[in-house]
Amino acid sequence: MSRSNFGTIQYVSKGKYRVWWEDGRSTTGKRKRASKVVNGTMDDAELYLAKIRVGLVGCTEDMTYDELWAGKVQPSFERDGLATKTVENYERVWARELRRA
């Protein structure tokens, strides 16, 4: 997994990794970070971090690509202020390669 700007993984000891992730902000505006020790391999820790991230953005394991696109991706275009060319490219990839025929 590439470097994440959502969370980090720290080696603790053989078969143990501490996973840290962003957990919102306090009432004073300071960032809050949560963590958990995961027993297993580095891959297990990366999978745990990915599941936390997916859960926080409101996706579920049984969500279809169509639901994800309509509910999360398309609304983010305007919210995130994406350039017109970027949106057009995303929609092209969606139409040609991801959407079911």
On whether the CB atoms of residues 12 and 27 are closer than 8 A, the answer is no
* CA distance linking residue 56 with residue 65, whole number of Å: 17
- Count CB atoms within 10 A of the CB of residue 80: 9
pLDDT of residue 89: 93
Reported as a pLDDT band with limits 50, 70 and 90, residue 5 is: low
pLDDT of residue 3: 56
Is the pLDDT at 17 greater than 90? The verdict is yes
Give the residue-averaged pLDDT of 44-69.
Answer: 83
pTM of the model: 0.58
On whether the CB atoms of residues 30 and 36 are closer than 8 A, the answer is no
Is the pLDDT at 82 greater than 70? The verdict is yes
pLDDT of residue 29: 86
Q: Please give the angle made by the CA atoms of 68, 47 and 20, to the nearest 5 degrees.
A: 100
Phi then psi for residue 28, to 5 deg, are -90, -5
Is the pLDDT at 73 greater than 80? The verdict is yes
